[in-house]
């Protein structure tokens, strides 16, 4: 293989991998200098001239001419007069010999090794470029095409054919993909795994929701509205605290849009995730009250030292504050950074009765319907009837009756 063929094949390979010309020349020179050091031990008296566009390679070795009996004759940058005159018969002592070294002087095996080394260096460089590219994109939204669906992850490819990974843990539970689908996610992290860049995407990260707001709400993108905090139960519910530095802009209204036009596209992207947008404030009491929306708070006690707050609500507001499966209170606690304890506020000295529907998180709906079927629609009416009469008058099992009574008794302890 001559120099022209070697350089041409390498240059074509490098161009297909989008490697720029200076980098390509540097890699070529590094490989040829490695060949020189293997054969001649040193390379400081060699010049390498490469023209990748024409496939030209020139390697020149420079040595000073010394007398045949000189002590320096064995130095790598010296040549005796006799050997010098074999190159040019009119050379004299003290002159410099420039000798061209051709690729075939290194031997066929060395040239084949150089070719493999060049290809490997390009592949390594390509991996490094990919790693750096996506390292700079961490936290940004990208779109990929689904090409393989596995049990633990979905594999996507970007526009350049690079593999991206969307693990099951980073997917919204309602996400369903088919091959060829387009999927949007943020670049969650980039790491080297066995020498290859591993690009992990996420659709469950709060940052994904934040970036969606930036793409759908111009005021957020322009910095007129700041997203102060985002908390999520992916695919179920989210709370977003926003603030505007311009008094003329209503941050909540701008984020929601006319008739919800702006937030609807975000909700659809997140598989109908229920998004509460609230106005951020430095007034902690007001911030907590907004975070627990739609529940209306009667009063609260804040323990800043232990990061806890006791919130008192009317009985009909408790279930709103807690939310389905405790989501509302859990997200509100994360949003404000305080553990929130909810208490029913009672009027007068006697304890108020509580509607059975408020226990829907703890008592299944069909059990509540069975109790209502015999005229019991409040907690106290059930407790007053007693265990034996409940077993006799309903079709409920004893164990179910005991569970109901336990839940209701705890309410009034």
**pTM for the model:** 0.67
More confident call, 126 vs 11: 126
Residues 6+ apart with CB under 8 A from 212: 141, 266, 269, 270
Res. 379: pLDDT tops 50: yes
**Structure confidence by residue, pLDDT tens digits, 12-34:** 766 666 677 788 788 888 888 88
DSSP structure class, residue 217: -
pLDDT score for 181: 94
Asked, for residue 191, whether it belongs to a domain, the answer is yes
Residue 394 has what DSSP assignment? S
57 and 112 housed in the same domain: yes
Please provide residue 229's backbone torsions phi and psi, each rounded to the nearest 5 degrees: -160, 150
Among residues 410, 318, 412, 409, the alpha carbon closest in space to that of 360 is found at 318
Q: Which of 169, 202, 235 represents a domain boundary (last residue)?
A: 202
Q: Would 264 be classed as within a structural domain?
A: yes
For 272-314, write each residue's pLDDT tens digit: 999 999 999 999 999 999 999 888 898 899 998 999 999 988 8
For residue 348, is pLDDT > 70?
A: no
277-308: burial string, b at 16+ Cβ within 10 Å, e else: bbbbeeeeeebbbbbbeebebeebebeeeeee
Bridge partners, 243 (sequence order) = 226
Domain count along the chain = 4
Distance from C-alpha of 103 to C-alpha of 175, rounded to nearest angstrom: 58
Taking the C-alpha atoms of residue 171 and residue 191, their distance in angstroms, rounded to an integer, is: 19
What pLDDT was estimated at residue 111? 77
For residue 190, give its domain range: 137-202
Would 215 be classed as within a structural domain? no
Q: Tell me, yes or no, whether 88 and 122 share the same domain.
A: yes
Quick one: 60 and 105 in the same domain?
yes
Domain identity same for 70 and 156:
no
**Residue 294: is the preceding peptide bond cis (ω within 30°)?**
yes
CATH for 44:
3.30.1480
> What six digits make up the tokens of 70?
């000189």
Domain presence at residue 132? no
**Distance (Å, rounded) from C-alpha 332 to C-alpha 284?**
12
Residue 222 has pLDDT above 60, yes or no: yes
How does pLDDT run across 47-91, given as a tens digit for each residue?
988 876 666 778 899 999 999 888 888 888 889 999 889 888 888
pLDDT digits (tens, 9 = 90+) for 147-181: 999 999 999 999 888 999 999 999 999 999 999 99
């Amino acid at each position: 293989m001559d120099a022209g063929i070697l350089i041409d094949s390498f240059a074509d390979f490098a161009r297909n991998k989008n490697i720029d010309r200076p980098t390509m020349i540097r890699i070529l020179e590094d490989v040829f200098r490695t060949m020189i050091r293997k054969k001649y031990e040193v390379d400081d008296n060699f010049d390498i001239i490469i023209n990748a566009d024409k496939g030209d390679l020139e390697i020149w070795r420079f040595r000073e001419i010394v007398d045949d009996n000189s002590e320096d004759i064995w130095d790598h940058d010296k040549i005796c007069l006799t050997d010098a005159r074999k190159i040019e018969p009119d050379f004299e002592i003290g002159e410099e010999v420039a000798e061209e070294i051709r690729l075939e002087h290194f031997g066929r095996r060395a040239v084949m090794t150089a070719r493999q080394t060049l290809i490997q260096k390009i592949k390594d460089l390509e991996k490094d470029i990919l790693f750096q590219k996506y390292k700079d994109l961490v936290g940004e939204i990208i779109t990929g095409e689904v090409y393989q669906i596995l049990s633990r992850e979905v594999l996507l490819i970007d526009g350049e054919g690079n593999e991206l990974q969307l693990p099951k843990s980073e997917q919204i539970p309602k996400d369903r993909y088919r091959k060829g689908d387009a999927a949007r996610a943020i670049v969650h992290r980039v790491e080297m795994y066995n020498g290859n860049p591993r690009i992990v995407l996420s659709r469950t990260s709060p940052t994904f929701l934040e970036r969606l707001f930036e793409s759908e709400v111009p005021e957020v993108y322009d910095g007129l509205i700041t997203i102060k905090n985002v908390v999520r139960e992916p695919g179920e519910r989210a709370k977003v605290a926003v603030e505007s530095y311009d008094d003329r802009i209503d941050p909540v209204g701008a984020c929601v849009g006319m008739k919800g036009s702006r937030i609807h596209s975000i909700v659809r992207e997140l598989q109908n995730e229920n998004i509460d947008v609230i106005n951020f404030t430095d007034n902690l009491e007001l911030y907590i009250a907004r975070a627990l929306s739609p529940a209306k708070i009667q009063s609260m006690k804040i323990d800043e030292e232990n990061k806890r707050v006791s919130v008192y609500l009317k009985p009909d507001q408790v279930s709103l504050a807690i939310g389905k499966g405790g989501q509302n209170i859990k997200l509100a606690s994360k949003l404000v950074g305080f553990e929130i304890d909810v208490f029913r506020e009672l009027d007068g000295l006697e304890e108020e009765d509580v509607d059975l529907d408020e226990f829907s998180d703890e008592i299944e709906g069909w059990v509540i319907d069975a109790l209502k079927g015999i005229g019991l629609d409040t907690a106290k009416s059930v407790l007053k009837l007693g265990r034996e009469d409940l077993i006799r008058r309903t079709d409920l099992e004893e164990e179910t009756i005991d569970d109901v009574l336990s839940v209701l008794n705890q309410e009034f302890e």
